[in-house]
Amino acid sequence: MLNTEATAAKKSGITTKELVIDAMLIALTYIFTAFVNLRLPIAANGGLIHLGNVPLFLAAIIFGRRTGTLAGAFGMGLFDLLSGWYLWAPFTFVIVGFMGFTVGAITDKHHGYGWNALAIAVACVIKVVGYYIAEGFIYGNWVAPATSIPGNLVQIGVAAIIVIPIAERLRVTIQKRL
């Protein structure tokens, strides 16, 4: 049995440790989105500011694009499905998954505060543009989505303030221990 599992792991290229890390960061992204949030009384959809981007960005910076993609797509997509925002789930899966991939891709070979800040800035653009387009399709209105932009900027800005000072130190510490 173990031999079969080891062979399957080699074929997939994903170790048990990586699978556990991915699952943990998906769960943390979901938890920080679902339970550390503030619903806004503005915008067409009411708006939501949450800290789910903190574990998402840390996942991407520390473990790379695959883990960042999975944490974003599944962690926040799961939130949408379980919290009544199910119409948003396919958009979130793609947009936030792409945010995690992009942050991981930028910081994979380039380390440091400046690169982490650049990666998060690019993720911010992806979020603002992605959700603007998603809202335009969902509501059939291309003016109303503009009201969500400030909330998206605040959400990413708060995450950046938390992540940028600690990400590099965490990345170095965790990489040494793995």
d(CA 77, CA 167): 24
Could you identify the residue written with the tokens 């992540």?
163
- Kindly tell me the sign of the dihedral angle through the C-alpha atoms of 107, 113, 129, 67: positive
**Domain membership of residue 164 as a residue range:** 14-177
d(CA 53, CA 50): 7
4 in a structural domain: no
7 in a structural domain: no
Reported as a single tens digit per residue, the pLDDT across 7-55 is: 655 677 899 999 999 999 999 999 999 998 887 776 555 567 899 999 9
Q: What is the pLDDT of residue 49?
A: 82
The residues, ordered by sequence, that sit 6+ positions from 77 with a Cβ below 8 Å of its Cβ are: 89, 90, 92, 93, 96, 97
96 in a structural domain: yes
How many independent structural domains does the chain possess?
1
Token pair belonging to 53: 């981007």
* Residue 170: CATH number of its domain: 1.10.1760.20
H or E element, residue 49: strand 48-50
Q: Which of 163, 161, 52 shows the shortest CA–CA distance to 107?
A: 163
End-to-end CA distance of the chain: 26
Reported as a single tens digit per residue, the pLDDT across 47-94 is: 678 999 999 999 999 999 999 999 999 999 999 999 999 999 999 999
d(CA 23, CA 38): 25
d(CA 95, CA 68): 12
